[in-house]
Amino acid sequence: MTPKVQPSKILIYIASLFAIILWGMSYIWTDQLIAQGIPVFYFVFVRIFLAGIILFLFNTAYARIKRIQMQDIGKFLLLAFFEPFIYFICETFGLKLTGSPTLSAMVIATIPIFSIGAGILFFKEKINAVNIAGIGFTLVGIVMVAMAKGSLGDHFIWGVVLLLIAVIAEVGHASITKSLSGNYSSQIIVMYQFLIGSIYLFPLFIWKGLNGFNMEVYFDGDVWYPIICLAVLCSSLAFSLWVSTIKNLGVAKSSIFSALIPVAAAIIAWILGHELLDSRQWIGIGVSTLGVILSQYTSKK
C-alpha cells in the first residue's frame, strides 16, 4: 500500500493565506450587494448553491465523487447547519445590526480562543506557551488594525449576540471538518457542505430572498459579478483550501489564520483605495503577523 504524501508546511501556509485573502475580498463584494439593496437571503443562497454545483461538476469531471458513508450522514448534516447556514446568517445580520465593521471584526477575531478549547478537548491537540503568546499578539494586532471611529447601530447588542453565535458555529464547523477530513477529500467535504446548506437556505430564499423581486435588477451584471466571485473564489476555492488547512494544522492552529480576515480586509481596502491605514494600523498588521508565526511554533524535543 502506497503511503500518503503529506504536503509541506510551506504549501499549507500559502493555501491558508490565499484563503484568508479571498475571504478578505468577500467583505468588499458582499458590501457591494448590500449597498444595491439585494436581500441577504437571495445572494447567500445563490452563492452557496452555485458553489455546490461548481464543486459537483469539478468532482464529476475528475471522477472524484464519493458517497457519504452511513455513519457520517449526521456529521455532514450538522456541518452544513453550522456553516453555511448558521454562520452566514448570523455574521451578515450581525454586521448589519452592529452598524460597525470594526466591532464585528473584533468579535469574529475571538474564534481562536474558542478553537483552542475545542482542539484540546476533542482532538488532543498540543498547544505550548509560545503558541498562546502568539495568539495574544494576533488578537492585540487585530484590535489595533480594526479600531477606527464609527457609529454603532441601534440594535448593536443583538448584533454582537449574533456574531458570537457565528463564532461558535465556526468552531463547530472546524471540529466536524477535522473529524471528516481523514475519509473525504477537501472538495468532497465542501461540495456536500454547500449542497446540503443550500437545502437549509432554500425556504428562507423563497420566503425572504425573493421579496420585491425585479428581474432587471437581480439579474444585472453589477449583481451577478460579485455573486459569481463569492461563489467561485470565496466559497468553492477558499473553503476547499481551508479544509486542507484544518486537516493538516488542526482546529486550534488553523483558527489563527481565520482571525486575520479583518487584517486582510483592511489591507485589500487600502490597496483598492477604499480605506486609508494609519501608522497604528500598520503596526497592528506587523504585530498580528508576528503572532501568527509564534502560534505555529512547534517545540522539538
Alpha-carbon distance of 143 to 102, in angstroms, equals 9
Answer yes or no: is 120 within a domain.
Answer: yes
- Within a domain: residue 278? no
> In what helix (H) or strand (E) does residue 215 lie, and over which residues does it extend?
helix 215-218
Domain annotation covers residue 141: no
Percentage of the chain modeled with pLDDT above 70? 87
- The tens digit of pLDDT for each residue in 256-297 reads 777 777 778 778 878 877 667 778 878 887 887 787 777 766
Share of the chain above pLDDT 90, in %: 34
- Please report whether residue 146 resides in a domain: no
Residue 111 lies in domain: 9-128+152-250
Kindly state whether residue 67 falls inside one of the protein's structural domains: yes
Angle at CA 111, nearest 5°, toward 110 and 113? 70
Cβ contacts of residue 179 below 8 Å, gap of 6+? 75
pLDDT digits (tens, 9 = 90+) for 106-163: 677 677 777 776 777 776 777 778 777 877 887 787 777 666 545 555 667 788 788 8
Nearest of 177, 189, 197, 166 to residue 48 by alpha carbon: 197
pTM here?
0.80
Residues 6+ apart with CB under 8 A from 289: 141
What is the count of structural domains for the chain? 1
- Do the domain assignments include residue 166? yes
CA torsion through residues 41, 77, 184, 117, sign: positive
In this prediction, residue 146 carries a pLDDT of 63
Chain segment 42-66, per-residue pLDDT in tens: 999 999 999 999 999 999 998 889 9
Average pLDDT, stretch 203-231? 91
Residue 264 lies in a domain: no
* N-term to C-term CA, the chain: 31
> Residue 184: is its pLDDT beyond 50?
yes
